[in-house]
Structure 1
Amino acid sequence: MASIFSWVDFSDEEREKMIQIIRQLRQQDTIDELGIGSARDSIANILFPGTTTIQTRAKYMLFVPWILKKMEKNRVPSEKISQRVKREEVKLCNSLLEVGFKDGVIGAISGEGLQRFPSSIYWAGLQTWGIRKFRGSLNDYYQGLNSYYHLKKGNITRDDQEVLLYRSFGENWDEGFPKSPEELPGKEGLDLTKSEAQYLLEKLLINCRESLLTKIINLRKTARKDFVWENTFIDKLNNDLQIKVMHAQNFSEIMQGAALVYNYLLAEKKESEELINKYKEKLAEWQIAMSSRAEIFLNWNLEHFWNLVYSELTVNVPSRTRRFIDQWIEIVLKNIDDIFVNKNEMEKFIYARELEVKGRRSRLRNPDYLAKWSGAAGTGQLDYRWHVVDKIINDIIRGLNK
């Protein structure tokens, strides 16, 4: 197999120029091609609890409970509530669009064809932030509402008694939850009022106090940049959070190399000179990025990194995933200033990993799946949902600053 980087020979001036274009290694395609998503998600949950990649704006943390509380008030029965809620969510989407909001409106493009509704997207986050008190899935909530209504009236049926055997009923929502506007979305639309923003920050301070998400909002530092570690407010964080961010950055940067090598190998398989040259350039940029932080990587405490990953109990990181990550890091770090001296080892390693993850769907082994490759698979650097979280942070800060 041809050498990836035997042609790379930078002068100091060229090296400096390359450092300036490292920023091109940005969010492109973050599909998890090599099976590291569980470790990524664990870190994301620790830094930014209650968030997901398909959330959009902070106001939905209020919109969803307002809609569901309205359903409860009107005693919409369990068998009808799912469709009623969906209709309300489509109505909310249309109302937001009518008053001029577009960015972050869930359903703005798909409308009634929406597959994931706000109630589903924000359900887990509402519990994490302490807004939802009901413990269970959205479907559990819907199915138990009839019994909840009977319990509130003191009129418990035999069916209710069966439900109560495995469910304990109390209030479904935080007692301090803000009052709903008469008609959603209200005059502020997707923007938060000062009191709404204060409420969300209060819930975060109570339920996610030590998270990076809460600390950034509490600092009132507007989120910018492509990655959280590029923001100047990082210097104002406590030592514990700075270390967590360092672990996140190291993992993001070192694992991007695996994705780039994978795509380089696909380009070779496809015999595309254009794509081969593209990934040679991207790998050159990655080599420079790694060399520029070589001392940090060589002193990286991987035991502490894995302790952080495993501290997020809701995510299971398989042992074979850890083994792949550890071995990749070892390959990279043993010659960090000239990583591609190990190119043959790297290439064989990525071949083996793709087969382990995908089996017969391996693009490197199955021409039918190679033919479906678009030219970029999972090349975007891990940002731990930052491209979503920064909007949520800025929504809350703008509200607080009113």
Structure 2
Amino acid sequence: MSSAIGWVDFDETERDRAQRLMDLFREQDSRDELGLGAIRDSIADHLFPGTSTIHTRLRYMLFIPWIFESLPSHLSPRDIAAKARQKEIELGQALMAGAPGAVGIIGKDAGEKLKRLSSSIYWSGLESWGIRKFPGSIEAYFAALPHWPKDTSKDHVEDDMSGAQRHRHLWHDRMPQPPKGWPDIVDFDLEPDEASFLIDRLVDRHPHSLLTYLASRSDQAKADAIWLHPHMADFPPQARVLVEHARIFSGVMHGAALLYNLLLSELRENEDWIERYQTALTEWSDELDTKELASWSLDDFWHETRHAGHSVLDPAKRFVTEWVALVRKEGGLGRNREAANALVMTRERRLKKGQSRFANKSARDRWQGASGAGRLQFRWSIAQSYLKDLKR
């Protein structure tokens, strides 16, 4: 094969993990202040593989391949990248014209100044679903494209190397064709063949995931959390077990997140924030099912949630184990608030070191009053948006 393949020498898993960490710092509700991200993402990737907290609409899973298949291959990698960027910006403009008022248009506000392109947001998901066959990064794609083998099954190939014929083995060979009017006229409505293609990719690559189960059944039930889904009793047994673990984990660890925010509020001496988190902690403690928590098996939890794409380190496991033990013993935070305070503060200090808000006054003064205070949802909102797009 062409020497271009030698350029695809990137550890994409590490690259994606690093990008995900940067994304977390831009998503206030998703901030991983207590180092639970690997656990959260392991569960999310089991339930809703190929999704991300910064995904918006499902049809981007087709927009990106359509754009990349149309790129001219006779240009330099730098010029190909510039061409791709311009096409993605034009896509945003076309969506604003074709779907005015639609939610989820990437670059709607930034326009030409857009920094994070939709291709970089969806690149990992495209590989996860088997839509993208090219195994490397976007930059490696641009570098390899001018040297990619031509489709020798054709008697004649266009000199500009554009079009799907020249991109065999880059994208799935059953990719639907762009709709009439593309790329000037476009919206988020999936054509029937497009929806079928996307569901087929899920069935092929993630046959046992909950997302595949729900998508295959055209499920559009509304629920604030996946464990509140009205048809949960009908979920496949393995998915149902994982959702139960996710619910209990989310519930018990929510207390640690609230306490973290309360401790910072007290240090900032902001009475409104203090009252907010004190009230939230009281409600959390009142709603906690102590009998269920007492019978919850952490060993089973670690076994069911392990995922090849995420490494849950021992310090994270120890923190969760110690927090659960404390909550079990006290039936909440109880009177042993000092032990709970110490556990949360020690965990954050070890994670952030010199940037710990408990140790660094400048970092604490920049705090805006909420960090990771929401309950873990494991990307259910994104999955629900995708299911809605499929149904629509």
The TM-score, its normalising length taken from structure 1, stands at: 0.83
What's 1:239 paired with?
237
Aligned to 2:3: none
The alpha carbon displacement at 1:295 in A equals 2.7
1:89 and 2:88 are equivalent in the alignment:
yes
Residue among 369, 387, 390 paired with 1:393: 387
- What displacement does 1:116 show? 1.2
Give the gaps of 5 or more residues in structure 2: 1-26, 155-166
Measured in 1, the distance between the counterparts of 2:89 and 2:229 equals: 36
Contact 2:218 2:390 in 1 (8 A): no
Which deviations, in whole Å up to 9, do the C-alpha atoms of 1:340-375 show, x marking residues without a partner? 222111011111111101112111222222211111
Matched, 1:48 2:44: no
1:137 is matched with 137
Shift of residue 273 of structure 1? Answer: 2.3
Counterparts of 1:186 and 1:322, CA distance in 2: 51
**Partner amino acid, structure 2, of 1:361:** Q
Match status 1:364 vs 2:358: yes
Q: 8 Å contact 1:247–1:305 — kept in the other structure?
A: yes
| 2:352 matches 1:353 | no
- Aligned match of 2:163: none
Aligned to 1:5: none
2: CA distance, partners of 1:381 / 1:185 = 39
1:249 aligns with one of 243, 247, 250: 247
Contact residue 34 and residue 348 of structure 2 kept, 8 A: yes
2:62 aligned partner? 62
Q: Give runs of ≥4 in structure 1 deviating > 4 Å.
A: 74-77, 149-154, 185-188
**Residue matched to 1:23:** none
Are residue 330 (structure 1) and residue 325 (structure 2) matched? yes
CA, structure 1 residues 345+313, in 2 after alignment: closer, same or farther (shift >3 Å)?
Answer: same
1:296 aligns with 2:295: no
Matched residues in 1 for 2:238 and 2:214: separation? 14
1:62-141 equivalence runs, <5 A: 62-71=62-71, 75-101=74-100, 102-141=102-141
| CA gap 1:149/1:83 in 2 versus in 1, 3 angstroms | farther
Contact 1:92 1:184 in 2 (8 A): no
Q: Summarize the Cα distance change of 1:150–1:201 in structure 2 as closer, same or farther, 3 Å threshold.
A: closer
User: Hey, what does 1:309 align to over in structure 2?
Assistant: 305
Q: Which sits farther off after the overlay, 324-333 or 216-225?
A: 216-225
In structure 1, stretches of 5+ residues that fail to align are 1-26, 155-168
Which residue identity does 1:357 align to in structure 2?
A: L
Matched, 1:282 2:280: yes
- How far, CA to CA, are the matches of 1:256 and 1:395 in structure 2? 30
CA contact (8 A) 2:223 2:230 kept: no
Counterparts of 1:252 and 1:186 in 2: how far apart (Å)? Answer: 44
RMSD over equivalenced CA pairs, Å: 2.1
- Give, in angstroms, the shift of residue 111 of structure 1: 1.1
Q: Which residue of structure 1 lines up, in the alignment, with residue 13 of structure 2? A: none
Q: Which residue type is aligned with residue 119 of structure 2?
A: S
**Aligned counterpart, 2:170:** 172
Contact preservation (8 Å) 1:38, 1:315: yes
- Partner Cα separation in structure 1 for residue 271 and residue 125 of structure 2: 46
**Paired residue for 2:160?**
none
Partner of 2:159: none
Distance 2:153 2:204 in 1: 32
Deviation at 1:223, TM superposition (A): 4.1
**2:35 pairs with 1:39:** no
Structure 1 residue 191, shift from structure 2 partner: 0.9
- Correspondence for 1:4: none
Q: 1:389 Cα shift?
A: 1.9
In the aligned structure 1, how far is the partner of 2:103 from the partner of 2:75? 31
* Secondary structure, aligned partner of 1:122: helix
Contact 2:94 2:184 in 1 (8 A): no
- In the alignment, the residues of structure 1 paired with residue 293 and residue 184 of structure 2 have an alpha-carbon distance, to the nearest angstrom, of 50
Q: For residues 149 and 80 of structure 1, what CA distance do their matches in structure 2 show?
A: 20
> Structure 2 length normalisation: TM-score?
0.85
1:318 maps onto 2:313 in alignment: yes
Alpha-carbon offset, residue 187 of structure 1: 5.5
Residues 169-221 of structure 1: CA deviation (Å, up to 9, x unaligned): 96111111101135435766111011111111111111111101111112222
C-alpha separation between the residues in 1 aligned to 2:153 and 2:216?
41
Q: Distance in 2 between matches of 1:370 and 1:118?
A: 33
Work out the CA distance in 2 between the residues paired with 1:277 and 1:198.
50
Work out whether residues 31 and 378 of structure 1, in 8 Å CA contact, stay in contact via their aligned partners in 2.
yes
Between the two proteins, the alignment pairs up a number of residues equal to: 353
Whole-angstrom distance in 1 between the partners of 2:238 and 2:323: 26
1:19 is matched with: none
